[in-house]
Amino acid sequence: MTPGVTVRRARPSDAPQMARVHATSWQQTYRGLIPDSVLDDPDLLPARERFWTGALTQERWSSNRTAVAEVDGTIVGIAMSGPAQEPDATEQSQLHLIYVDAAHHGGGAGSALLNAVLDPDESAALWVADPNPRAQAFYSKHRFAPDGRSKTEDGVREVRWARPTATS
């Protein structure tokens, strides 16, 4: 991991910085997949801050695991997992999101965040935008593979990836 990167559980006071990473990462990652009108919407950052404030304070989110990666007190990465949500899910957990600011890609923050929110011994699933070769390579490195399911939401094609338990 990049020297100086610390991963810890997210706190409600982190919501503004988490929103910044979330919005910036969307702009860095999804340009060309998501309409520019969404990525450049002046409400994107405030909407992400409202989301994170709720996710870190409301009871309905309490079963989720949420972590941040920091460098010198500045949040550079975020991740959240929770119980599997698909009606037919056989996995124990679902990775809802993981984002690391592009300036910190390749430094180990993503792997540390993934390990902070997903038990390596649990089976897990996630949805990833397609195409998204960088994310897909990251998930492959962490034993995830496409399971054959896909969906399109808001014009974005997503592929479901799953990881068996460590002993499978």
At residue 35's C-alpha, the angle toward residues 31 and 139, to 5°, is 45
Rounded Cα distance between 110 and 45, Å, is: 22
Lowest-confidence region among 2-6, 20-24, 57-61, 120-124: 2-6
Q: Residue 106's domain spans which residues? A: 5-121
Determine, yes or no, domain membership for 135: no
> Dihedral of the CA atoms 114, 8, 44, 129 (nearest 10)?
0
Q: Give the tens place of pLDDT for each residue, 149-158.
A: 999 998 899 9
Tell whether 161 is covered by a domain: no
CATH code (residue 43)? 3.40.630.30
* Residue 167 within any structural domain of the chain: no
Is the residue at 158 inside a domain?
Answer: no
The domain total for the chain is 1
Asked whether residue 25 is domain-assigned, the answer is yes
Q: 147 lies in a domain?
A: no
> 116 in a domain, yes or no?
yes
pTM for the model: 0.94
pLDDT at 2 over 70: no
Q: Does residue 77 lie in a domain region?
A: yes
Radius of gyration of the CA atoms of the chain, in A: 15
